[in-house]
Amino acid sequence: MTGARLTATLDLHELTAGLTRLRALMRDTTPVARAIGVGLLASTEARLGGTVGPDGRPWHALSPAYAAIKRMPGMLLERGTQGGLLGSLTMAAGHNQVIVGSNKVYAAIHQFGGKIVPKNARALVFRLSSGGGIVRAKSVTIPARPYLGISPADERMMVEVVDEFYYWALKRS
């Protein structure tokens, strides 16, 4: 035989061991989901103080009457961090999911918008913040101000979390 010949013997033991460790890590992705959930919760909380949804679209402005009496900055912040929407945000993570949301009855109307009408009366009656008086209305329309969702920055964060988790998990094993 003329020319050149190369014979190589590959030891795939380390590669096989690394893939085995990676497969074991992927059996329970709850720690990764939890880290992603913490990031999504933080970005959702930050969004409540702003004026833009996760898709980058600006929210409808507040009505001038409400804006004049509003105590807190940010469209969806009114009662501070304890009693309002911000304080109600929670996160739950599992093997293959992350859930961020609120149990407040008014959370959905802010996210999706809608019309509020009285159920058992002729008018809605509510008190405006301190000194604002009482208002009666046949209905109130709330425009959608989506605060839940995944922004492009959230997408980048999730990829970074997964990359970092597996990098360090493989490095430790």
- Tens-place pLDDT, residues 78-129: 754 456 888 899 999 988 789 999 999 889 999 999 999 999 999 998 776 6
> How far apart are the C-alpha atoms of 141 and 146, rounded to whole Å?
15
Handedness of CA 128, 132, 134, 138 (dihedral sign): negative
Q: 77 lies in a domain? A: yes
> How far apart are the C-alpha atoms of 67 and 39, rounded to whole Å?
30
Q: 110 lies in a domain? A: no
Q: 47 lies in a domain? A: yes
pLDDT at 173: 62
pLDDT at 59: 93
Q: 128 lies in a domain? A: no
> How far apart are the C-alpha atoms of 10 and 27, rounded to whole Å?
29
Instruction: Please report, rounded to a whole number, the percentage of residues in the chain having pLDDT higher than 90.
Output: 42
Q: 44 lies in a domain? A: yes
Neighbours of 6 (CB within 10 A): 4
Q: 141 lies in a domain? A: no
pLDDT at 92: 94
pLDDT at 27: 76
Question: On the CB side of 154, how many CA atoms lie within 13 Å of its CA?
Answer: 23
Provide the domain limits for residue 40. 13-104+147-172
Q: 8 lies in a domain? A: no
How many folded domains does the chain comprise?
A: 1
Residues 6+ apart with CB under 8 A from 92: 37, 98, 99
Q: 61 lies in a domain? A: yes
Counting beta carbons within 10 angstroms of the beta carbon of residue 171, is it exposed (0 to 12), middle (13 to 18) or buried (19 or more)? exposed
CB 42 within 8 A of CB 164: no
